[in-house]
Amino acid sequence: MEGNVAIITGAGRGIGEATAEKLARQGVKVVLTDIDQERVETVRSKIVELGGEAIAFSGDVTENEFPSMLVAEAVYSFGRLDVLVNNAGYTWDGLVHKMTDEQFRKIMEVHLVAPFRLIREAAPYMRDAAKKEIEQGINHYRKIINVSSIAGLTGNVGQTNYASAKAGLFGLTKSVAKEWGQFNINCNAIAFGVMDTRLTQPKEQGESISGIPLGIPKNVREQLTRAIPQKRPGTIEEAADAIYYLTSPMSNYVNGAVLQVNGGIYM
């Protein structure tokens, strides 16, 4: 994997940060992006101190021009693109009869529309580049990983927007896998369960993004934890391990899959 170039969205903290560090330790040049400029710069500095190569490009993945700017910056800085990890996202919960159009649209934009637009922008540097390599007899694999959730498989009370977006991400993943598999580009999704991130921390801790409260009520989190056969949430490191697997040569024959990482809460 050394010398590969990876874009990781939502890389300012949590799963994105852990994934970036894991890839950088394997010699992957990482392009970090997050809406929180201070956080993503901190992650970049940490990776550079570890001896890795990284650039930070802060911004909102849902902005119209951002996907093209991000991909252009990656190619300008490192000359190629091998891995795309669509990880950025947040939750904005509400019961369906109280949910506004804005709530529904914003969550769809960040979890489904943004990954689609980033994949489309990456096409010249992934699909087109791969076609040329194949013509030259070069057998190099590229990877797209869409971070989804079991909410897209099961639905969630208070999350019609999030569950709809994450379910749509499965369809996007499988369609890209069928279109681009012939070019040695694997597109897979991960259906995470209860992972120990800001999105599942007790809401009482007061975490938020752009003024929108994050997390779930403490009693609901405790109920969910009891329902997991392993009786604990997954760690950020365990989440990053799953993403790492799908970026590595170990998964070269895994395409269009939905990898479930949930401790057995959904089988």
Q: Where are the domains of the chain?
A: 5-193+234-260
Ramachandran area for residue 38 (φ above 0: left; ψ -120 to 50: alpha; else beta)? alpha
Name the phi and psi angles at 202, rounded to 5: -55, 130
In sequence order, the 6+-apart residues with CB closer than 8 A to the CB of 29 are 3, 4, 5, 6, 52, 53, 54, 78
- Which residue is associated with the tokens 């040329």? 132
- Over residues 62-108, the pLDDT tens digits come to 999 999 999 999 999 999 999 999 999 999 999 999 999 999 999 99
- Mean pLDDT across the chain, nearest whole number? 95
**Joined tokens for residue 159:** 């999350």
- Over residues 12-47, the pLDDT tens digits come to 999 999 999 999 999 999 999 999 999 999 999 999
Q: Structure pTM?
A: 0.95
DSSP structural state of residue 87: -
- The predicted pLDDT at position 208 comes to 84
Q: In this structure, which CATH number among 3.40.1280.10, 2.30.30.830, 3.40.50.720, 3.10.129.10 belongs to the domain 5-193+234-260?
A: 3.40.50.720
Percentage of the chain modeled with pLDDT above 70:
100
Coil, strand or helix at 119: helix
Is pLDDT above 90 for 61? yes
- The predicted pLDDT at position 198 comes to 84
∠ CA 132-242-159, nearest 5°, is 105
Coil, strand or helix at 187: strand
What is the band of 220 on the pLDDT scale with cuts at 50, 70, 90? Answer: confident
Cα–Cα distances (Å) from 3 to 8, 30, 48, 131, 182, in that order, read 16, 10, 15, 20, 23
- Concerning whether 162 is annotated as a catalytic residue, the answer is yes
Q: Which candidate in 76, 162, 245, 266 is catalytic? A: 162
